[in-house]
Protein backbone atom coordinates (compact mmCIF):
# COMPACT_ATOMS: atom_id res chain seq x y z
CA UNK A 1 0.00 0.00 0.00
CA UNK A 2 1.20 3.50 -0.81
CA UNK A 3 2.26 5.58 2.21
CA UNK A 4 0.05 8.62 1.65
CA UNK A 5 1.96 10.65 4.23
CA UNK A 6 5.12 10.49 2.12
CA UNK A 7 3.25 11.22 -1.10
CA UNK A 8 1.52 14.22 0.44
CA UNK A 9 4.78 15.52 1.90
CA UNK A 10 6.45 15.32 -1.52
CA UNK A 11 3.50 17.06 -3.17
CA UNK A 12 3.54 19.79 -0.54
CA UNK A 13 7.31 20.24 -0.96
CA UNK A 14 7.02 20.44 -4.75
CA UNK A 15 4.20 22.95 -4.44
CA UNK A 16 6.35 25.15 -2.20
CA UNK A 17 9.27 24.94 -4.62
CA UNK A 18 6.93 25.84 -7.46
CA UNK A 19 5.71 28.89 -5.52
CA UNK A 20 9.28 29.99 -4.77
CA UNK A 21 10.37 29.51 -8.37
CA UNK A 22 7.58 31.66 -9.79
CA UNK A 23 7.23 34.67 -7.48
CA UNK A 24 4.26 36.26 -9.23
CA UNK A 25 0.64 35.35 -10.01
CA UNK A 26 1.61 31.68 -10.00
CA UNK A 27 2.32 31.99 -6.29
CA UNK A 28 -1.38 32.43 -5.55
CA UNK A 29 -2.27 29.43 -7.70
CA UNK A 30 0.40 27.32 -5.99
CA UNK A 31 -0.84 28.38 -2.56
CA UNK A 32 -4.38 27.35 -3.42
CA UNK A 33 -3.17 24.08 -4.93
CA UNK A 34 -1.07 23.38 -1.85
CA UNK A 35 -4.06 23.97 0.41
CA UNK A 36 -6.27 21.71 -1.70
CA UNK A 37 -3.58 19.02 -1.77
CA UNK A 38 -3.12 19.20 2.00
CA UNK A 39 -6.86 19.06 2.57
CA UNK A 40 -7.19 16.14 0.16
CA UNK A 41 -4.33 14.23 1.78
CA UNK A 42 -5.67 14.88 5.27
CA UNK A 43 -8.95 13.33 4.15
CA UNK A 44 -7.20 10.28 2.69
CA UNK A 45 -5.21 9.61 5.84
CA UNK A 46 -6.99 6.86 7.83
Reported pTM = 0.37
Is the CB of residue 37 less than 8 Å from the CB of residue 10? no
H helices of 1-46, in order, are 4-21, 25-44
For residue 41, the model assigns a pLDDT of 57
How far is residue 34's CA from residue 46's CA, in Å, rounded to a whole number? Answer: 20
| Digit-coded pLDDT (tens) for 21-32 | 655 555 566 666
User: What is the residue-level pLDDT of the chain in tens, covering all 46 positions?
Assistant: 667 788 878 888 888 777 666 555 555 666 666 666 666 555 554 4
- What is the predicted pLDDT for the residue at 25? 56
Amino acid sequence: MIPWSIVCTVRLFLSILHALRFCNNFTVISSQQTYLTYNHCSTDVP
